């Protein structure tokens, strides 16, 4: 089989940030400045650390300190995803990312700066006002406002891509502690619901293996707020 990431790697090598944003939007579902920040951060890291050829086998790791829109840009461009265990999520609420190679000496940490703060550009102000209405207050936009919001969000995304790196990020080299490779565990059948469960998540009830919900235990999940108990 061909390298499944060949297209993405070509876009990185050619410096085609617009192409990368388009690809990332295929999984993200919309164009937004957050997505553009993730795309740009991963692009800068891939270039500087020479980690373009990520193989999805945890040789290259990405650490995200947030779970906002930008993470889809990180996953798409760097190839480090939740599913291939090369994406580590720290629930710190900072739009900050660290990339490193396993066995490498240092990682690169990029922290996003506030992009539109202090801007008196009327387009930025209009975009912020529509964002507050639609996202912060969850109010319905008129069809016209909705079209306008999409357009402004797209414009801002492109501004992020085209801005100088130091306007969008502060960038530093850091020592990022390596994490273990993802272990492989056996599956065990829950004696109540019959579903298969990774063995480290099996509980014993009346001397029989059960899954966490069947045991009635609390578990944790990632939601918009971060990692929470269910
Ligand atoms: Zn988004
Ligand atoms: Zn069960």
CA nearest neighbour of 87 among 207, 222, 215: 222
Ligand 2 center from residue 190 Cα (angstroms): 5
Q: What is the pLDDT of residue 105?
A: 80
209 alpha carbon, closest ligand: 2
Check: CATH 3.30.1330.130 for 6-116+155-174?
yes
Report pTM: 0.92
Contact present, 74 and 96 (Cβ < 8 Å): no
Longest Cα–Cα distance of the chain, Å, equals: 67
Q: What is the pLDDT of residue 117?
A: 61
Residue boundaries of the structural domains of the chain: 6-116+155-174, 187-224
SS3 83: coil
Ligand 1 center from residue 27 Cα (angstroms): 10
Q: What is the pLDDT of residue 121?
A: 86
Residue position matching structure tokens 């740009």? 40
Q: What is the pLDDT of residue 52?
A: 85
Ligand 2 center from residue 224 Cα (angstroms): 26
Instruction: Indicate the class that CATH gives domain 187-224.
Output: alpha beta
Tell me the C-alpha distance between 79 and 97, whole Å. Answer: 14
Tell me the C-alpha distance between 169 and 113, whole Å. Answer: 5
- Beta strand extents in the chain (DSSP E only): 60-64, 87-89, 96-101, 107-112, 169-174, 187-189, 196-198, 203-205, 208-210, 220-223, 226-229
Question: Tens digit of pLDDT per residue, the chain (230 long)?
Answer: 789 999 999 999 999 999 999 999 999 999 999 999 999 999 999 999 998 887 788 889 999 999 999 999 999 999 999 999 999 999 999 999 999 999 888 899 999 998 666 677 888 889 989 999 998 999 999 999 999 999 999 999 999 999 999 999 999 999 988 899 999 999 999 999 999 999 999 999 999 999 999 999 999 999 999 999 98
Q: What is the pLDDT of residue 116?
A: 64
Ligand 1 center from residue 40 Cα (angstroms): 14
Ion ligand 2 residues within 5 Å by Cβ: 190, 192-193, 211, 214
Ligand 2 center from residue 83 Cα (angstroms): 23
Q: Under 8 Å CB-to-CB from 145, ≥6 apart: which residues?
A: 130, 133, 134
């Amino acid at each position: 089989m061909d390298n499944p990431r060949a297209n993405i790697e070509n876009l990185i090598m050619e410096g085609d940030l617009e192409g990368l944003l388009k690809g990332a939007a295929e999984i993200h579902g919309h164009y937004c400045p957050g997505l553009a920040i993730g795309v740009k951060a991963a692009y800068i890291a891939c270039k500087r650390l020479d980690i373009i050829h990520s193989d999805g086998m945890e040789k290259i790791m990405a650490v995200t300190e947030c779970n906002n829109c930008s993470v889809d840009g990180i996953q798409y461009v760097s190839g480090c995803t939740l599913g291939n265990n090369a994406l580590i999520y720290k629930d710190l609420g900072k739009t900050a990312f660290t990339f490193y190679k396993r066995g490498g000496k240092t990682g690169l940490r990029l922290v996003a700066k506030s992009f539109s703060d202090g801007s008196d550009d009327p387009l930025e102000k209009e975009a912020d006002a529509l964002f507050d209405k639609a996202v912060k207050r969850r109010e319905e936009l008129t069809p016209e406002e909705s079209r306008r919001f999409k357009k402004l969000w797209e414009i801002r995304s492109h501004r992020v891509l085209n801005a100088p790196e130091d306007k969008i990020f502060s960038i530093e080299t850091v020592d990022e502690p390596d994490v273990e490779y993802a272990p492989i565990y056996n599956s065990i059948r829950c004696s109540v619901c019959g579903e298969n469960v990774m063995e480290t998540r099996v509980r014993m009830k009346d001397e029989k293996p059960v899954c966490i919900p069947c045991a009635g235990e609390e578990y944790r999940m990632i939601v918009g707020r971060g990692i929470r108990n269910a």
